[in-house]
Chain A
């Protein structure tokens, strides 16, 4: 079974700086990893994904990096904005479902 771990429960950054959220996984077999963002009292919303055949995927201020040898991926947000304050989950596409990490709460201070 794939395990997905986010070892930092929270992260605080200043507005305009870079936010880096990290995720580790155990199983080398996967097709896609996805990042979701969740605001309080709302369901998770899809942010960005990366295929196993890529090392990087970029969408505006959001970039996801994949290091297959280290079984590690990271989400970079540049520049960070106060509206980015939310809980971020990485998730593995297991074919029939998504397996989520425990989440990292990002706080962007004005």
Chain B
């Protein structure tokens, strides 16, 4: 297994366009997380799934954001009507339940630039 993979790695879009990111977690991991990281900040929690169920969403996740994990495997994060403030690195992570320590395994991220 090659770990958590994310696609695309980079996306440049114009304000008002929609973008979608895909995450493929480690195959045996039932939990999948989305985080956002802006320059100089730590990763901020957006949402997480246990299998196909979306169990928690952050207040950061506005109505323009939607995440799905239709079959409990890969996940997509869609941002509609992008704004310049959406420019960030979007990180996906997976885990087996909460584990003992809560360790998450992160992908390399999808960097979004909104012009």
Q: Point out residues on A near B: beta carbons under 8 Å.
A: 4, 6, 9, 31-32, 34, 36, 41-46, 49, 51, 89, 91, 93-103
Complex contact B48–A46 (CB within 8 A):
no
Complex CA gap A44/B98 in Å reads 18
Within 8 A of A (CB), among B85-115: 91, 93, 98, 100-109
Complex contact B106–A43 (CB within 8 A):
yes
Complex contact B103–A49 (CB within 8 A):
yes
A-B contact count (CB 8 A): 65
Complex contact B105–A42 (CB within 8 A):
no
Complex contact B102–A34 (CB within 8 A):
yes
Q: How far is the CB of A103 from chain B (nearest CB, A)?
A: 5
- Picked from A32, A45, A96, A102, the residue with its CB within 8 Å of the CB of B40 is A102
Contact A97:B56 (CB < 8 A) given known A9-B40, A45-B106, A102-B41: yes
Q: How far is the CB of A41 from chain B (nearest CB, A)?
A: 7
Complex CA gap A91/B40 in Å reads 16
Complex contact B48–A34 (CB within 8 A):
no
Complex contact A42–B108 (CB within 8 A):
yes
Contact A31:B106 (CB < 8 A) given known A9-B40, A103-B42: no
Complex contact B101–A49 (CB within 8 A):
yes
B residues near A94, Cβ cutoff 8 Å: 102
Contact A41:B108 (CB < 8 A) given known A49-B103, A98-B102: yes
Complex contact B106–A44 (CB within 8 A):
yes
Q: How far is the CB of A26 from chain B (nearest CB, A)?
A: 15
Contact A43:B55 (CB < 8 A) given known A95-B98, A102-B42: no
